[in-house]
Structure 1
Amino acid sequence: MDFDKIKELMDDENQDDFQLPSSLEDLKESQMPIAKIRKTMKGEIATQLTGIVIFFAFPALVKMYELPRAVYLILMFVTSLMTLGYLAKMVWFLRRTSSVAQQTKETILRFIHDIKLTMEVYKTGIIAGSLLLPISVAAIFMGVEHRGADRFSEWFLLQMPTSTLLLVIFGYLVSCVCIYYITVKWADQLYGVHVRKLEEILKQMEE
């Protein structure tokens, strides 16, 4: 009788019957979306900081008239303050959730709560800062020296026909709606899908 062969068959059967408890499997599975959220957030912080540097360096690369240049720098300063505000919140979140390996039901609940709060600050900061972008873009395109010194001044002081003013207001409102929609979709694609995955895992753990 081949005892070695019988032993191998028994071992195979034992391995087939052995399964991790669902709670342990869920805890292990929960580490994946958490790690993805943290990785995405770190990359976005670096990207946003790089963007701030590029935006502030732009007037040094392109010759602009004084008024549009001043308006651009002031608006970018305000936008940068808003950006740094939600980036600070994201850094706080990363530090608070640094113990990714130690996962329990309570830590997952806390993680979901913290990421939702951080995302609200994130979306509010991006939307508020982006509402100034149309004016900054206008300052860039109308403020370069070869386009004429008075063009941006007339636009900025609203020295235009009523029909043109209405078109400008309508265009600004449309851009605001687009910025809001894009920001919400962007945040959902980056973080929302992973948060929903964590909530599903949490429900499985409670069953």
Structure 2
Amino acid sequence: MDFDKIKELMDDENRDDFQLPTSLENLKESQMPIAKIRKTMKGEIVMQLVGIVVFFTFPFLVKMYELPRAVYFIFMFITSLMTLGYLAKMGWFLRRTSNVGQQTKETILNFIHDIKLTMEVYKTGIIAGSLLLPVSVTAMFMGIEKYGPDRFSEWFLLQMPTTTLLLVIFGYLLSGVFIYYITVKWADQLYGVHIRKLEEILVQMEE
């Protein structure tokens, strides 16, 4: 009887028994961040749609001057179109990753790849929106009649001294950068943490 061969077979079986539960445990553990990402994304889609409805309802609740009202609707319409674009991308992502219960290393890799592409679309939309939203918000607050003269028309038509104009341009760009920064940080808190967790699980599975 070849004891060395028997020992070698037993060692192989022991290694297999050790690796299999580890892989199963990692796959099971990965379900949590994937489920959280999908749940968060569904909630954000609903929140964004509600936000669009609220913003378009605002001019009907208060009395605004004509130019601020028109500018508000135009810029909000463009912003909403871009928002709906990346919301549609999110919806496509949710449909594509609906088989959460059938996870393998390959499906997790595909999930990470798709969520990263979706986040890039999200950030691109935010960059464009961050340049338009300050105009809409300014029109919303400066164009209300009960707050006095129509200051927004002077601001929008650049009827101001050069120094004031430079301050307005600087404030406009600063507000756009601020909106983008806050949104990207918010997206990282919502999705980036879970993406990094999935990547750590994949590394453990490879080991």
**Same fold by TM-score greater than 0.5:** yes
Task: Tell me what 1:121 maps to.
Answer: 121
Count of matched residue pairs: 191
Gaps of at least 5 residues in structure 2 are: 1-17
Deviation above 3 Å: which 4+ runs of structure 1?
Answer: 147-150
Task: Tell me what 2:9 maps to.
Answer: none
| Native 8 Å contact 2:131 2:173 kept in 1 | no
1: CA distance, partners of 2:84 / 2:189: 22
| Native 8 Å contact 1:89 1:118 kept in 2 | yes
Question: How far apart are 1:20 and its partner, in Å?
Answer: 6.3
2: CA distance, partners of 1:19 / 1:140: 60
Letter of the 1:79 counterpart: T
Question: How far apart are 1:72 and its partner, in Å?
Answer: 0.1
2: CA distance, partners of 1:148 / 1:74: 23
Task: Tell me what 1:57 maps to.
Answer: 57
Task: Tell me what 2:27 maps to.
Answer: 27
Task: Tell me what 1:42 maps to.
Answer: 42
Q: Secondary structure at the match of 1:168?
A: helix
Task: Tell me what 1:203 maps to.
Answer: 203
Gaps of at least 5 residues in structure 1 are: 1-17
Please give the per-residue CA displacement for 1:87-145, whole angstroms capped at 9, x wherever unaligned.
00000000000000000000000000000000000111123113211111111121111
Question: How far apart are 1:147 and its partner, in Å?
Answer: 3.5
Identity among equivalent positions (%) equals 85
Letter of the 2:58 counterpart: F
2: CA distance, partners of 1:195 / 1:79: 28
1: CA distance, partners of 2:29 / 2:150: 61
Letter of the 1:138 counterpart: T
Task: Tell me what 1:140 maps to.
Answer: 140
2: CA distance, partners of 1:183 / 1:144: 27
2: CA distance, partners of 1:32 / 1:78: 36
Letter of the 1:70 counterpart: A
Question: How far apart are 1:19 and its partner, in Å?
Answer: 9.5
Q: Secondary structure at the match of 2:43?
A: helix
Letter of the 1:160 counterpart: M
| Native 8 Å contact 1:79 1:130 kept in 2 | no
2: CA distance, partners of 1:138 / 1:179: 14
The answer to whether residue 74 in structure 2 is matched with residue 74 in structure 1 is yes
Question: How far apart are 1:148 and its partner, in Å?
Answer: 4.2
The answer to whether residue 169 in structure 2 is matched with residue 169 in structure 1 is yes
TM-aligned CA distance change 1:20 to 1:105, over 3 Å? closer
2: CA distance, partners of 1:191 / 1:70: 36
The answer to whether residue 98 in structure 2 is matched with residue 91 in structure 1 is no
Please give the per-residue CA displacement for 1:25-62, whole angstroms capped at 9, x wherever unaligned.
00000000000000000000000000000000000000
Question: How far apart are 1:149 and its partner, in Å?
Answer: 4.9
